[in-house]
Amino acid sequence: MAKKTIRDISIAGKRVLVRVDFNVPFVRNTNYIADDRRLRAMLPTIRYLKDQQARIILCSHLDRPGGVVVPSLQMEPVATKLSEILGEPVKYIRHIVGDKAQESVAELAAGEVSLLENLRFHAGEEANDDAFAKELANLADVYVNDAFAASHRKHASIDKISNFLPSVSGFLMEAELDMLGSVLDSPDRPLIAIVGGAKVSDKIAVMKSLLVSVNTVLVVGGMAASFLKAQGLQVGSSLAGEKEVALASNLLEWASPAGVSIQLPTDVVVAPTIDDASLSKTVDVGNIPDNMAIVDIGPDTANNFAAFIRKSRTVVWNGPAGVFEVPPFDIGTRKIAESLAQLRKGITIIGGGSTAEAVDSFGLANRMSHVSTGGGATLEFLEGKDLPGISVLQEY
Ligand code: ADP
Ligand code: MG
């Protein structure tokens, strides 16, 4: 069920409404965009539409204004930055729908790029309101969803809009669906999932879904504590509540009949708090002191896991191996990232906001096959859920 893209329908000269995810971070109390990767990621789609002489109407949400105009969340600085990256003017339209928006769109020349005001200034956006979606649709002839990261939300510009316009995907959406889809559908094997992060409960659904298709799961991060405890080990002051341990226990039970091997750390870095690294030490998982918590995987574990990674053909990684924000507890996460970067004949897929941030901070993002732009959307996709913004797009 491959989705049609902008390549598959006629858009020459048409008015094309493109839902993008320009929900970018700003440097506190300034108009300065701290990270413009989401803008750069849109260039292939924008350039193609320009080549087709389309009249391009970009639209996005920014933060959570809650259905009212919040001046600090206007899209103007985003339009300015995009124009800088694109090397040509981007017309900032101060409206979302209505006569003024219509007028501005009517003035667009063939190949011209514009950006509407923050969609969430209108209450109809998050309410998935029919009338608002229709008004938005009235601005254009074709709808393109290139906002994978927002596609798990049932909002008007993601969902309802498709009732009123022919709806296809952009190139970023296409890449996300190809890469993430390949993990679920027809992965090159061995297929390994590395799952980490703080809590099992955040990752239980994605792990359950991946257990159907993966060969091996490498468990890292804070959630490893729940798995270790489920196996009868003492985990000191690590977060591993009864519920979390029960979830881990279930996963361990499901895995072996499914033919999946779940690998746990054999050594870990522990510390009384993350504030004082000088008090941390590496211990065997059988020797975790009472008053200390797991903050990273240990070097033996990192080496063992690197060996699994070397033998794999597809790796999907969600959730850091330790508290990577606080060096030296980033070492395990860094080693995993390096192992992935060194995998020559394999596909490496990074999902999850923190994991992507970690890989990027190590300067290794461009060594991965794919760094997903979605956080929640990526998880829900890997959980096997139907994302509203994807299911509404035309299929071949
Ligand atoms: P992602 O955003 O990639 O899906 P998560 O949100 O699940 O990842 O988890 C990221 C967080 O998990 C990070 O803030 C990291 O510090 C934390 N984390 C990783 N390992 C540990 C640990 N051993 N103890 C506490 N927190 C951890
Ligand atoms: Mg996260």
* Tens of pLDDT, residues 292-333: 999 999 999 999 999 999 999 999 999 999 999 999 999 999
Catalytic option among 38, 81, 229, 335: 38
Q: Which ligand number lies closest to the CA of residue 238?
A: 1
**Which residues surround the ion ligand 2 when the cut-off is CB under 5 Å?**
353-354
Q: What is the pLDDT of residue 110?
A: 97
Same domain, 253 and 358: yes
Range scoring the smallest mean pLDDT among 87-91, 249-253, 365-369, 379-383: 379-383
Residue 126 CA to ligand 2 center (angstroms) comes to 22
Give the residue, by CA position, lying nearest to ligand 1 atom 11.
Answer: 197
Count up the domains in the chain and report the number.
Answer: 2
Residue 227 CA neighbour count, 13 Å, CB half: 27
Q: Report which of residues 8 and 257 the model is more confident about.
A: 8
Mean pLDDT of the chain, nearest integer: 95
Atom of ligand 1 nearest to the CA of 221: 20
Which pLDDT score, from 0 to 100, does residue 38 have? 92
Residue 113 sits in the same domain as residue 188: no
Say which ligand is closest to the CA of 240: 1
Query: What is the CB < 6 Å shell around ligand 1?
Result: 196-198, 202, 221-222, 294-295, 318-320, 322-325, 352-355, 375
**Alpha-carbon gap, residue 379 to 383, rounded angstroms:** 6
Mean pLDDT of 173-201: 91
Rounded to the nearest whole angstrom, what is the distance from the C-alpha of residue 8 to the centroid of ligand 2? Answer: 35
Closest CA to 155 of 295, 241, 59: 59
- Determine, yes or no, domain membership for 90: yes
Do 114 and 247 reside in the same domain of the chain? no
pLDDT exceeds cutoff 90 at 73: yes
Q: What is the pLDDT of residue 103?
A: 98
Q: Which helix (H) or strand (E) holds 156?
A: none
The pLDDT, as a whole number, for residue 256 is 87
170 in active site:
no
Q: Is 64 part of the annotated catalytic residue set? A: no
Q: Is residue 157 part of a domain?
A: yes
Whether 164 and 186 map to the same domain: the answer is no
Assess whether 196 carries a catalytic annotation. no
**What is d(CA 106, CA 103) in angstroms, rounded to the nearest whole number?**
5
Task: From 267, 354, 371, 380, give the residue whose CB has the most ligand 1 atoms within 8 Å, as the site to mutate.
Answer: 354
Q: Which ligand is nearest to the CA of 319?
A: 1
Catalytic residue selected from 160, 199, 203, 229: 199
Query: Does residue 288 sit within a domain?
Result: yes
What confidence score (pLDDT) does residue 206 get?
86
Same domain, residue pair 147 and 275: no
Mean pLDDT of 100-119: 98
Nearest to 221 by CA among 244, 198, 192: 198
In this structure, the answer to whether residues 143 and 199 fall within a common structural domain is: no
186 has a pLDDT exceeding 90:
no
* Residue 69 scores a pLDDT above 90: yes
Q: Is the pLDDT of residue 182 over 90?
A: no
Helices 331-342 and 299-310 meet at what angle, rounded to 10? 20
Task: Using the mean position of ligand 1's atoms as its centre, give its distance from the Cα of residue 321 in Å.
Answer: 7
216-250 burial, b if ≥16 CB within 10 A, otherwise e? bbbbbbbbbbbbbbbeebebbbbebeeebbebbbe
CB atoms within 10 A of CB 94: 13
CATH number at residue 154: 3.40.50.1260
Percent of the chain with pLDDT over 70: 100
Looking at the fold, whether 213 and 309 belong to one and the same domain comes out as: yes
Residue 388 in domain: no
Choosing from 171, 202, 227, the residue where a domain stops is 171
Label residue 120 by pLDDT band (50, 70, 90).
Answer: very high
Residue finishing a domain among 148, 171, 194:
171
> Ligand 1, residues 275, 323, 340, 379: which to mutate, most atoms within 8 A of Cβ?
323
Whether residues 218 and 341 share a domain: the answer is: yes
Band of residue 210 on the pLDDT scale cut at 50, 70, 90: confident
66, part of any domain:
yes
Residue 391 domain-assigned (yes or no): no
196 C-alpha to center of ligand 2: Å? 10
Task: Check whether residue 224 and residue 353 sit in a common domain.
Answer: yes
Domain boundary among 145, 171, 197: 171
Q: With 80 as the cut, is the pLDDT of residue 289 above it?
A: yes
Alpha-helical (H) ranges within the chain are: 37-40, 43-51, 76-86, 99-106, 123-126, 130-137, 171-184, 200-211, 224-230, 242-255, 299-310, 331-342, 353-361, 376-382, 388-391
> Is there a single domain that holds both residue 275 and residue 324?
yes
Ligand nearest to the CA of 356: 1
Residue numbers of the domain that contains 41:
6-171
Please tell me the distance between residue 336's alpha carbon and the centre of ligand 2 in angstroms. Answer: 18
In a domain, 266, yes or no: yes
Residue 183 lies in a domain: yes
The protein residue whose alpha carbon is closest to atom 26 in ligand 1 is 198
The stretch 135-159 carries a mean pLDDT of 97
Q: Kindly state whether residues 69 and 130 are assigned to the same domain.
A: yes
Assess whether 190 and 164 both reside in one domain: no
Res. 359: pLDDT tops 90: yes
- Catalytic: 286? no
